[in-house]
Amino acid sequence: MSCLECGSQMTAAATGRPRLFCSGRCRVSAHRNRSLPSELIGTPRWIRHVRKRPITWAGHYASVTNPDHWASYQDARRSSFGDGLGFVLNGDGIICLDLDDCFDGGQLKPDAQRLLDSVGESYTEVSPSGRGLHVWGYNDDLDKGRVTSFGEQKVEVYPSGRYITVTERPMVKARMGFLNLTGIR
């Protein structure tokens, strides 16, 4: 087990519970400097991207179906290759809703706001374009992705076989909970 902030190896806590950080210093640093939920940071499915094309943290083209191409959050974040971070979805229940063009004059469009209000606890961040949102959470009922709508808002739902760019520009910062997809047709 390694520290989510610095990557150093750790032993289990005396209580037997898994430790996330090796020290109070790393814990404070992680909470001050990161907006991402620990559920994403602690999952080693990170890549980089160049113009939305996946690459490894070492700068080689990456496959979203080959775990050998993925890295820890720390390794991917430290890398200077490409344009930014990405997270691979592999069907383990972590999903992402991709809402494109959901702002009007800097404000969320009504259907996008209704969607956010209805899905449940999520980590939601602004997409790289600044015109969309990525809504992260859990849902085990989804076996494949789809493009659908919520009112007039187009929604792309991805559970596996994809990666999603990560900006670390939160709009709604929360722990990732179960995303209720009722109403997303």
Q: Which residues are catalytic?
A: 98, 100, 134, 156
CB 88 within 8 A of CB 136: no
CB 58 within 8 A of CB 81: yes
Percent helix, strand, coil in the chain, to 5, is 20, 35, 50
CA gap 136, 132 in Å, rounded = 13
- State which amino acid sits at residue 68: D
Per DSSP, helices labelled H in 52-170 are: 73-78, 110-119
Q: What residue ranges in the chain does DSSP mark as E strands?
A: 46-50, 53-55, 84-90, 94-99, 103-104, 107-108, 123-126, 133-138, 146-150, 153-158, 160-166, 170-172
- CB-based contacts of 9, cutoff 8 Å, min separation 6: 1, 2, 3
CB 150 within 8 A of CB 114: yes
